[in-house]
Amino acid sequence: MAKAAPAYFLFDVRIHDPSQLGPYLEGVEATYKAYGGKLLTLHGQQQVVEGQGPMGAVVILAFESLDMAQAWHASEAYQQLIPYRHTAADTNAWLIEGLAG
């Protein structure tokens, strides 16, 4: 049986009101871990080598499959946190399917 392709959520986040982000930061880890999510990078050093860079910090989450990533994002627990991020930051987000191993 073929292994499912992994999936990656990439977030480009420019925080403009850190005081409003607290509840999101306090709760988000438990939400993605419940779906097997793993944090790959958080505010790491960036170097633009071609084109335009991100507008803010880059966060990458890995999931075992596209289905698991979508389930996490749609989960009630995560949906309750999103308004805090939207209030505190401007965000671009992408869900990308990886290659099956």
Helix, strand, coil % over all residues of the chain, rounded to 5:
35, 30, 35
CATH number of 7-46+61-97: 3.30.70.100
Instruction: For 53-81, write each residue's pLDDT tens digit.
Output: 999 999 999 999 999 999 999 999 999 99
Domain ranges for the chain: 7-46+61-97
Nearest to 70 by CA among 26, 1, 4: 4
Instruction: For 28-42, write each residue's pLDDT tens digit.
Output: 999 999 999 999 999
Q: What angle do CA 72, 79, 56 make, to 5 degrees?
A: 85
Average pLDDT over residues 20-27: 96
Instruction: For 89-101, write each residue's pLDDT tens digit.
Output: 999 999 999 998 7
Confidence at residue 3, expressed as pLDDT on a 0 to 100 scale: 80
